[in-house]
Amino acid sequence: MLELKGINKSFAGRQILRDLDLTVADGKTLAIVGPSGVGKTTLLRIIAGLETADAGTISWNGQQTTPDDLRSKGILGVVFQNFGLFPQYSVRRNITLAPTLAGQSQADANKRADQLLSSLALTDEAEAYPYTLSGGQKQRVAIARALALNPQVLLYDEPTSALDPALRDNVAELVNSFKKQGMTQVVITHDMDFADQVADTVFTMPTGGKD
Ligand SMILES: Nc1ncnc2c1ncn2[C@@H]1O[C@H](COP(=O)(O)OP(=O)(O)OP(=O)(O)O)[C@@H](O)[C@H]1O
């Protein structure tokens, strides 16, 4: 179980998050919703270790931890809003880069990447470069990359915002299929229909943080 307690964050003296508590139950999908500017991405960046909270704690299975630890141990995988793919690398290399940097052999990383590519209907794109892919394909590569380290929690930032509306249902199907496999997922979204399709629990960001 991932737990955040008393998270505070200000930018230039303006408080965005105030004493925010959040619990992500194992095997469930939590949607974090709220209007633009309320601090959803800031919260995700704090969980992912890309931003530092001014105060508050993060625990994993009851033990206090740090976002860096969660990511370096491969507990947490993040799917970024604009996919964050490395343009200079093939799809397969995008997926194997983190595992090989973490010490896996290239052969093992390739094997896992090929399994993921197959399960996400991307086998034919393995050698392609990101710029040649459609939005939906880029999204699935970003998901494959986040899954490559076998995370226990998958975090998505606005997974439908860069997609054609018709592709939203595909992403919802994927999220729901990962749930069936036992994955814990956190989805940041302003798309309430998408939240309804995937979420066990919807957490509405409090707007009280802003001065
Ligand atoms: N690095 C930063 N420096 C200064 N202000 C920032 C920084 N990052 C975010 N903010 C401010 O914090 C507030 C919350 O931003 P955030 O991106 O977290 O909101 P959001 O809820 O994700 O919005 P959206 O749905 O539009 O993406 C905004 O007012 C934003 O301008």
pLDDT in tens, 119-175: 888 999 999 999 999 988 998 999 999 999 889 999 999 988 877 777 888 889 999
**pLDDT exceeds cutoff 80 at 208:** no
For residue 77, give both structure tokens: 């995988």
Residue 174 three-state SS: helix
Instruction: Kindly compute the dihedral angle of the four CA atoms of residues 124, 129, 135, 139, in this order, to the nearest 10 degrees.
Output: 80
Q: pLDDT category, 11, cuts 50, 70, 90?
A: very high
| Ligand 1 mutation target, pool 10, 18, 40, 194, most atoms within 8 A of CB | 40
ipTM, two decimals: 0.94
Residue 37 near ligand 1, beta carbon < 6 Å: yes
**pLDDT exceeds cutoff 80 at 74:** yes
User: Which residue has the CA at smallest separation from atom 13 of ligand 1?
Assistant: 37
pLDDT at residue 161, rounded to an integer: 83
Q: Ligand 1 centre from 33 Cα, in Å? A: 14
pLDDT at residue 27, rounded to an integer: 96
Burial of residue 49 (CB within 10 Å: 0-12, 13-18, 19+) is middle
| Ligand 1 mutation target, pool 7, 9, 15, 16, most atoms within 8 A of CB | 16
